[in-house]
Chain A
Amino acid sequence: MLPYIARRLLQMVPILLAVAALIFLLFSVIPGTFASSMGDDGRTVVDAQVMERMNQELGLNDPLPIRFGKYVAQLATFDLGTSFRSRQPVSQVIADRLWPSFQLAMAAMLFAMVIGVPLGFAAAIKPGSLFDSVAIMLAVSGLSLPKFWLGLLLMYLFALKLGWFPSFGYGDGSLRYLVLPAVALGVSPLALLARTSRAAVLEVLHADFIRTARAKGAGNIRVMRWHVARNAFVIILTTLGLQFGSILGQAVVVEKLFSWPGLGSLLVDSVTLRDIPVVQGCILTIVLLFLVINIIVDVLCAAIDPRIKYS
């Protein structure tokens, strides 16, 4: 197992390098630099000499290959550069946002799992029943909901009308602030999990070992719990890992809507301000998180299902 994990971790390096190169190239074709975009608001007038000096200081006048070389050399020492805007190290700026982002993504996942998986299981027990049809319909609807619209509606109903939860912000970091954004973010993974679990359970229910278990006299609950659930969970976990990427993507919108101080809102703000080192850092961090989560998922799958062997 350990060599497998080590190999998977090593495989991340070329992907991260490729992502870094891609993002770096993308942003080096932008017309204008951070210094020239400072005048974009129409109020600040940036002197040509000042602009030149800033470009010099920020190293924006060097040729492209040299800049990329410098960037990779920095990355190798976990240095993501300095924010154009706040002049703080990017790694520091990102570290401040990492915990709220992680909290939100995990809460959304948890919400999706706790409701989605049992819903899928229950629907699969009697396929074609009224409950099953309603569950499928709900799942398709959940996948079609725009997250920020759902967020707005939740905000209106539960924060402004009923006053149960704060309408936005991180507050003191207490759970009350987490509920609405997590629900808004968790609905589409919930729907997908319900669908996947239903399909997985139906698949497993037809397997020979289920018939054998029943023939040996195992009751319904025992069959579901020990034979079906364990086998279905591998499929469910894998879906969950792959969904994590889209959760990280969707979080951008939800965080912006709820003014949640996570990586997503940092990314959007930095994109608007053209704070390129922060944008690059955010994207690299998000890709890294996604890759690490999927390695964890694969390891968990092997732990649950002894048939999966990693050599």
Chain B
Amino acid sequence: MKFRSNLWIGGALIAVVVAGGALAPWLAHTDPVMDANLMNAEMPPGSEFWFGTDAQGRDIYSRVLYGARVSLTVGIVSQLINTFIGVCLGMSAAYWGGWWDDLVSGLTNLMLAIPSLIFALAIMAILTPGLTSLLIALGLTNWSFTCRLSRAATLSIKEQGYVEAARSLGYTDTRIMFRQVLPNIAGPIIVIGTLGIGGAVLAEASLSFLGLGIRPPFPSWGSMLSDARDQITTAPWISIFPGLAIFMTVLGLNLLGDGLRDVLDPHSQTRKA
């Protein structure tokens, strides 16, 4: 097995972000919300404030660390919801067929027609901004691709001998779907799921940037960037570090997803001539 550089680089990047978020209380220099001090406002990066301070004099390094918690929580949880919805709908539609299949396919087409960020924005409009609302908005709007994939994969597997054997043993439909079908279609779903976390991290940042996600003063990379816009002339470093953190996280997840694809889904491996 050859050295898979994207798997390792991606994994390393994500390890750094996860460690930063998990160890934030120990690594951070100050409290990310409370320690505002106008005396320190807009200090450039230096030995005291590694990433500088923002307009309220808060330490950007500490806020970026805590921001990792929001991004990763939203990214992972919302993608788990999406994957759960997508797999359940897709698998059952293919397995049962009939009117249920028609209904699910119609719903999937409907979801594909509305750009997911727009849909999430519409949902955020009716909820109060905050973590739970973000999880709902992003968890309900991005399952169509997983659903299509699970449906297609299940269709080709449900005629296999071992599924028939399970059926003749009198196993229930649910048991067959989760014990016989799911393990055999899991590879591509894990790949899409990993890539989807990156998308969800970006979407969270976008919504928070628009003021419809995590509300200030709580640190989210997106809302930090939204504050930074006004100080771009006087203090550009406020914009640099939260953006770099988003970039690193999403890049890590994308590399990891590509790497996993090569391992778990060899059929779609990028052709090497």
What residues of chain A have their CB less than 8 Å away from a CB belonging to chain B? Answer: 15, 18-19, 22-23, 26-27, 29-30, 127-128, 140-141, 143-149, 152-153, 155-156, 160, 199, 202-203, 205-206, 245-246, 248-250, 252-253, 256-257, 267-268, 271-272, 274, 279, 283, 286-287, 290-291
Contact = CB atoms under 8 A, between A and B. Distances in A.
Nearest to A247: B115
Contacts of B109: 15
A144 B254 contact: yes
A153 B121 contact: no
Given A15-B109, A19-B114, A152-B225, 15 more contacts: A15-B113, A26-B122, A27-B125, A143-B250, A144-B247, A146-B222, A149-B239, A205-B273, A249-B116, A249-B117, A249-B118, A252-B210, A253-B117, A257-B229, A271-B212
Contacts of A256: 209-210
B239 A267 contact: no
A146 B206 contact: yes
B202 interface: yes
Contacts of A206: 271, 273
A120 to B, nearest CB: 12
B6 to A, nearest CB: 8
A281 B202 CA distance: 26
A283 B205 contact: no
A155 B232 contact: yes
A19 B110 contact: yes
Contact of B118 (A143, A155, A156, A267): A267
Given A23-B122, A146-B246, A152 B228 contact: yes
A251 B27 CA distance: 36
Contact of A149 (B113, B126, B243, B253): B243
Contact of B209 (A30, A148, A286, A290): A148
Contacts of A160: 232-233
Contact of B211 (A127, A202, A272): A272
B64 interface: no
B255 A140 contact: yes
Interface in B108-158: 109-110, 112-118, 121-126
A146 B254 CA distance: 13
A283 B118 contact: yes
17 contacts: A26-B122, A127-B273, A144-B254, A148-B209, A149-B247, A152-B232, A202-B271, A252-B118, A252-B206, A256-B210, A257-B209, A267-B118, A271-B212, A272-B212, A274-B125, A287-B114, A291-B113
B258 interface: yes
B70 to A, nearest CB: 14
Contacts of A274: 125
A191 to B, nearest CB: 10
Nearest to B232: A156
Contacts of A252: 117-118, 121, 206, 210
B176 interface: no
B251 interface: yes
B107 to A, nearest CB: 9
Contacts of A199: 270-271
B272 interface: yes
B244 to A, nearest CB: 8
A171 B233 CA distance: 20
Contacts of B225: 146, 148-149, 152
A241 B121 CA distance: 22
B90 interface: no
B44 interface: no
B82 to A, nearest CB: 16
Nearest to A143: B254
Nearest to B229: A152
Nearest to A250: B117
Interface in B219-273: 222, 225, 228-229, 232-233, 236, 239-240, 242-243, 246-247, 250-251, 253-255, 258, 270-273
B251 A141 contact: yes
B251 A153 contact: no
B251 A144 contact: yes
B198 interface: yes
Contacts of B117: 246, 249-250, 252-253
Contacts of B242: 149
Interface string B13-40: 0000000000000000000000000000
Interface string B83-126: 00000000000000000000000100110111111100111111
B194 to A, nearest CB: 13
B118 A248 contact: yes
B236 A271 contact: no
B125 A253 contact: no
Contact of A22 (B110, B115, B228): B110
B113 A279 contact: no
Contacts of B121: 252, 267-268, 271
